[in-house]
Amino acid sequence: PPARFDIVTIFPEYLEPLRASLLGKASARGLVEIRVHNLREWTHDVHRTVDDAPYGGGPGMVMKPDVWGAALDDVCPGGALLVVPSPAGRPFSQATAQRWAKERHLVFACGRYEGIDQRVIDDAARRMRVEEVSIGDYVLIGGEVATMVMIESVARLRPGVLGNAHSHQDDSFSDGLLEGPSYTRPHSWRGLDVPEVLLSGDHMRVDRWRREQSLLRTAARRPELLESAELGPADHALLAE
């Protein structure tokens, strides 16, 4: 049965890229089902108002509870998992993607930066699971781009979506270290040569070199990952150099 992704947004055109390329093909093949809903369909007034000034004052606008409540009543049957992208959310990670890949039905509520009236989330939590999630510590205009990031990382884990090209150990994060440098032909390009170890045909040597590159890159760019990675004595010796 296809995994279903429903997205509620005031910028439906923002989600068009999900119809293109890989995910477009996957949905054409019935592996996933992506449906985009325009929040304004649930507005009550002639101006199709979706937000209003915040109680307590302050900058920006807050999205109206009655409009969102009507939309989620229609879009979220019982049993769906409601995802609310938010800068104040719990951090999204590959572990989150793995967990969500098991879900039949995910609904994404795309709100603006100042947020959605809290009662929408409190009311939804009475009848479904709700997760407020951040994709990183930077400010976006709304939740649409975060939603595309999360849908891509979840959909690619669904069987058949990536064809057999999908490497099952998950890229950079399989052993907790960053992926090192990659090379392909030609072996010399603009005066830059591929490290000769990779042309040696000595697989033990190649594997060891790749491990060293991952360790050095992780130490340089993401030292905090080293604490949770499984390092052997050779790894510690290299990092102590």
Ligand X SMILES: Nc1ccccc1-c1cnco1
Contact status: 8 vs ligand X (CB under 6 A):
no
Choose between 146 and 178: whose C-beta lies nearer to ligand X.
Answer: 146
Q: Smallest distance, Å, CB 155 to ligand X?
A: 18
Contact status: 11 vs ligand X (CB under 6 A):
no
Binding mask 140-179 for ligand X (x = CB under 6 A): x-xx--x---------------------------------
Choose between 17 and 60: whose C-beta lies nearer to ligand X.
Answer: 60
Contact status: 10 vs ligand X (CB under 6 A):
no
Choose between 116 and 177: whose C-beta lies nearer to ligand X.
Answer: 116
Q: Smallest distance, Å, CB 83 to ligand X?
A: 11
Binding mask 95-124 for ligand X (x = CB under 6 A): ----------------x-x-----------
Cα–Cα dist 88/91, whole Å: 9
Six-digit token string for 67: 């409009």
Cα–Cα dist 233/196, whole Å: 25
Catalytic residue among 2, 4, 87, 210: 87
Which stretch in 43-51, 79-87, 94-102, 203-211 sits in contact with ligand X by CB under 6 A?
Answer: 79-87
Cα–Cα dist 31/22, whole Å: 11
Cα–Cα dist 239/108, whole Å: 42
Q: Residue 180: exposed, middle, or buried by beta-carbon count in 10 A (0-12, 13-18, 19+)?
A: middle
Contact status: 136 vs ligand X (CB under 6 A):
yes
Q: Smallest distance, Å, CB 128 to ligand X?
A: 20
Contact status: 139 vs ligand X (CB under 6 A):
yes
Contact status: 60 vs ligand X (CB under 6 A):
no
Which stretch in 31-39, 135-143, 212-220, 222-230 sits in contact with ligand X by CB under 6 A?
Answer: 135-143
Cα–Cα dist 29/41, whole Å: 29
The answer to whether 224 is a known catalytic residue is: no
Q: Smallest distance, Å, CB 141 to ligand X?
A: 7
Count CB atoms within 10 A of the CB of residue 236.
Answer: 11
Cα–Cα dist 70/114, whole Å: 20
List residues near ligand X by CB under 6 A.
85-87, 111, 113, 134-136, 139-140, 142-143, 146
Active site residues: 87, 114, 156, 171
